[in-house]
Structure 1
Amino acid sequence: MTEDNSRELYDRALSVLPGGVNSAVRAAIEPYPFFVRKGEGGHVIDADGNRYIDWVMGLGPLLLGHDLPEPVRAGIQRKASEGPMYGTPTEVEVDLAEFVVRHVPSVEKIRFVNSGTEATTSAVRLARGYTGRNKIVVMQGGYHGAQESTLVEGDADDPKPSSAGIPESFAEHTLPVPFNDEDAIRDVFEDHGDDIAAVLTEPILGNYGIVYPEEGYHEFLREITEEHGSLLIFDEVITGFRVGGLGCAQSEFGVTPDLTTFGKIIGGGFPVGAIGGRAEIIEHFAPTGDVFQAGTFSGHPVTMAAGLETLKFAAENDVYGHVNGLGDRLRRGLTDIVADQAPSYTVTGTDSMFKVIFTREGPSGVQRTPEDASGDNREQGSDSLEEQCPAGCRQDPTCPRYDYSPKNAGDVKNAETERWRRIFWRQMKEQDVFLSQNQFECQFVSYGHTEEDVEETLEAYKDAL
């Protein structure tokens, strides 16, 4: 495998781009990232002609894969041929808005923007403007874009900026708590309840290795925010139109937030973001309300066409059956492999999301007879893996992995993150499998992937683990 062209391109990029990249995570691969020339189905081909099974999928937007179905491609090309943009409303943005309102339980009205970061920034501003309060509760390790209100680390007693360039005074209004920790939520509401504008959370942590919620956690968030007159904001930039199908993750969990932020899939692979929710709240955006929000490229007609055609195709074809079926097959296969070769590791994910977290501790009572390499004749014991979650961690208290599976971002951070990045990732790449660039970003199945892609990937995991 040659990487000469990627190395040359990176050398050029270092001269004109900070770190040689336009998004920090892309530089995580050492000594340099490979440069992609094009995508085909569930694969990418790099600048040197190397072909990889692609489980990154643009970090989530590509539900349909790299080869768009003909109706989707035609709809995008038709809109692009009519002109780039106009600075006035177009019919297609109304069409996409109507589609989202029909399918997502919490959304009565929606405002389109240009990125997930812009969506969460606007949602936080809207929550503060609507409630007249200042403080926002976020989950430690949850990612809500590159914005001042959420680039905050520490805890609720000592929040501080997680990036240079953010004034300490900004962080004072952000209260980080561990995901899945009801007591921590109760404490911040007891201390700051009268000034909490909103709780902002991903339904499933998607930038910290995929952490599933404990049963009842989101229902608890719904109850305590209503009790205190605060808003509940679901950040579905990652999970939107991927988990729970067209109803998004909130429909799968049966919890209706006040506001939802979207990105990625809702734009069909083009730059996009959106804020949806109860009409009485969304109406506080300008021009009908007092919360300013505007953008030159918001509701861009080509992006709106891409999002609408993608979601229509998913609604009219068995897209979710295909991607969720492959996702389930992947996670079940990984669960078996991990049980045999790395019993301390944790398989996570749901629907078309998956990841193996290199957790350091796990059940210790699993044994195999020497003649049974498959592990089918494991001896039963208190730590037997026979009753584990079969297709990704569900935070099931009866699962033998329950005490060891990550419950929050801190648990993932304590995993073998450097081994994942420095050794495992390259071992998978050498077997032509492209995984997300670090332990924290999740991986995605697309409509362009096949059963053969799954089987080849499982064989690569067997070898690399």
Structure 2
Amino acid sequence: MNHEQSRALYDRALSVMPGGVNSSVRAIRPYPFFVQKGDGGHVVDADGNRYLDFVMGYGPLLLGHDIPEQVQSAVQRRASEGPMYGAPTEVEVELAEFVARHVPSVEMVRFVNSGTEATVSAVRLARGYTGRDKIVVMQGGYHGAQESTLVEGEGGDTHPSSPGIPESFAEHTLTVPFNDEEAAHTVFAKHGDDIAAVLTEPMLGNYGIVHPVEGYHETLRDLCDEHGSLLVFDEVITGFRVGGLQCAQGKFDIDPDLTTFGKIVGGGFPVGAIGGKSEIVEQFTPSGDVFQSGTFSGHPVTMAAGLETLRYAAENDVYDHVNGLGDRLRSGLQDILEDQAPEYTVVGTDSMFKVVFTRDAPDSFEGHCEAGCQQREECPRYEHCPKNAGDIKRAETERWERLFWPKMKEQGVFLTANQFESQFVCGAHTEEDIEEALEAYKEAI
């Protein structure tokens, strides 16, 4: 493949943008390819190279790059009527009604502009509602670029994970390993009266896709109820992707107090949202005292894109399509691993997938989870599959990034650039695309 134009663009970008990118995950070594356009389930770069795309904008593109006519028409109509107004519009009410109608725990919604902004606001709301300061997060869980959750450490012994964050922020953040019920009980036994909320993804989505073990979320729900804390699900990645319109909380049958959304709920445009019980969400200003505001919140173009994307998905069997392809892809990947790398682990569910380069597992695949690790105790690989972020971090992350990813790119398959972020199937992908991807995995693994 020729990459002269991408290399030249990266050289220009380095002069005017830190690291040549506007999001650090895009800083692919030795330099990223620059996308010229999307085309269905593919992207085309500045040099005309065409890639089968499983990044999907890091999750927002449920339908793929070709926007269906009803979505495109709604977006164009809203844009033609004026960019934004500083006043409410009907379409933001309609999208809020759609979310509240379909997501089990949501009665009221506040729209913001990014997943990070949603989690920042949810943490502030939980603290304001409970009158407490401490929050519990999962080690390795990602909740955006915000001071309260960019922490490292264990339990109450935490410190900021980035320069520029005062140590005092980390003092109020407690960490536990995902899927560790004992650690959750311990942190509540010590700090329960001070904990405003537990903030967790239903599945770890930025650390290799880690499925919850049976009973884990129920344990968190019980602990929060017992101690008067809020359970906050970060569904920025899983929202309207895992579990369809009910989201992951519907799939796992858990009722959080608050949920954060992003990505798909904006149909590919910048968006975030906080949803939950009315008595909690209405504590936001102006109905309550917890300040939250934003110039671009409820932007009419974004609201129209999100609403029509979700309507289209509901009316056109999109979830059956993408989940079926996801199952086929994960099953095919497991067949490949059984022959070539039995120590590796296929993870994901519905339209999310990943191969984690784990280092140890039985040679036999008899009785295993057939389309991605589901944390079944009866599975012979259960003791070896990743249970938390630490397990993913101990995988062969350098081999994934330095050898495997470039090999896939040279075969025309675009994956997320490291071992950790999720990959996604979209509505524009076909069975032929899945077979093409599997052939590339055979070669690269």
Q: What TM-score does the superposition give when structure 2 sets the normalisation length?
A: 1.00
Structure 2 counterpart of 1:419, one-letter code: R
Q: Which of residues 384, 387, 391 is equivalent to 1:407?
A: 387
Are 1:329 and 2:361 counterparts? no
For 2:429, the equivalent position in structure 1 comes to 449
* 1:318-351 Cα shifts (integer Å, max 9, x gaps): 1000000000000000011011100000000000
- AA at the equivalent of 2:162: S
Name the residue aligned to 1:57. 56
Structure 2 stretches lacking a partner, 5+ long: none
Whichever residue aligns with residue 170 of structure 1, its letter is: F
Letter of the structure 1 residue corresponding to residue 4 of structure 2 = D
Q: Distance in 2 between matches of 1:139 and 1:319?
A: 31
Aligned-residue RMSD, C-alpha: 0.5
Give SS of 1:419's match.
Answer: helix
Residue in structure 1 matched with residue 359 of structure 2 by the alignment: 360
Matched letter for residue 265 of structure 2 = I
Aligned to 1:389: 369
Aligned twin of 1:436: 416
1:13 aligns with 2:9: no
Q: How far is 1:399 from its partner?
A: 1.0
Q: Which runs of 5+ in 1 are unaligned?
A: 367-383
Partner of 1:4: 4
Is the Cα contact below 8 Å between 2:34 and 2:46 reproduced in 1?
A: yes
Question: Which segment drifts farther, 408-417 or 393-402?
Answer: 393-402
Question: Amino acid of the residue matched to residue 414 of structure 1?
Answer: R
- Between the aligned partners of 1:155 and 1:37, the Cα distance in structure 2 is 43
Residue 438 of structure 1: how far off its partner (Å): 0.5
Q: Is 2:440 the counterpart of 1:460?
A: yes
Tell me the SS of whatever aligns to 2:265.
helix
Q: Distance in 2 between matches of 1:48 and 1:102?
A: 45
Deviations 1:424-448 (A, max 9, x none): 0000001000000100001000001
Q: Verify: 1:210 aligned to 2:173, yes or no.
A: no
Helix, strand or coil at the partner of 1:361: coil
For 1:431, the aligned partner's letter is Q
Report what 1:30 is aligned to: 29
Name the SS of the counterpart of 2:154 in structure 1.
Answer: coil
The aligned counterpart of 2:180 is 181
Query: How far apart in 2 are the matches of 1:231 and 1:445?
Result: 32
Q: In the aligned structure 1, how far is the partner of 2:335 from the partner of 2:368?
A: 10
Distance 2:313 2:156 in 1: 45
Match of 1:150, SS state, is: coil
In 1, Cα distance between equivalents of 2:233 and 2:323: 22
Per the alignment, residue 94 of structure 1 pairs with 93
8 Å contact from structure 2 (residues 158, 175) kept in 1: yes
Equivalent residue number for residue 295 of structure 1: 294
CA distance in 2, matches of 1:386, 1:360: 19
Answering whether residue 254 of structure 2 is matched by residue 255 of structure 1, we say yes
TM-score, reference length from structure 1: 0.95
Q: Which amino acid aligns with 2:181?
A: E
CA distance in 2, matches of 1:64, 1:80: 20
- Return the offset for 1:158: 1.1
**1:268 paired residue number:** 267
SS in 1 for 2:279: helix
1:102-141 equivalent positions in 2, closer than 5 A: 102-141=101-140
- The answer for the alignment partner of 1:418 in structure 2 is 398
By how many angstroms is 1:272 displaced? Answer: 0.1
Residue by residue, what CA displacement relative to the aligned partner does 1:107-166 show, whole Å, maximum 9, x if unpaired? 000000000000000000000000000000000000000000000111113100000000
Aligned to 1:427: 407
Farther off after superposition, 396-405 or 289-298: 396-405
SS of corresponding position for 2:157:
coil
- 1:336-368 CA-partner distances (Å, limit 9, x unpaired): 1011100000000000000000001111xx3xx
Does the CA contact (< 8 Å) of 2:156 and 2:171 recur in 1? Answer: no
For 2:15, the aligned partner's letter is S
Letter of the structure 2 residue corresponding to residue 392 of structure 1: G
| Divergent runs of 4+, >2 A | none
Q: Measure, in 1, the Cα distance between the counterparts of 2:186 and 2:300.
A: 45
* Amino acid in the other structure paired with 1:413: K
Kindly indicate whether the alpha-carbon contact (under 8 Å) linking 2:96 and 2:109 is maintained by their aligned counterparts in 1: yes
Q: What SS does structure 2 have at the residue aligned with 1:142?
A: coil
Distance 1:104 1:400 in 2: 35
Q: Secondary structure at the match of 1:336?
A: helix
What is the letter of the counterpart of residue 96 of structure 2? A
Identity level (%): 76
Aligned amino acid, residue 61 of structure 2: L
Query: Which amino acid counterpart does residue 390 of structure 2 have in structure 1?
Result: G
Matched length: 445
The AA in structure 2 aligned to 1:112 is F
Structure 2 Cα separation of the partners of residues 354 and 433 of structure 1: 14
Q: In structure 2, the residue corresponding to 1:154 is in which secondary structure? A: strand
Give distance in 2, aligned partners of 1:298 and 1:130: 22
Alignment of 1:140-219 (within 5 A): 140-219=139-218
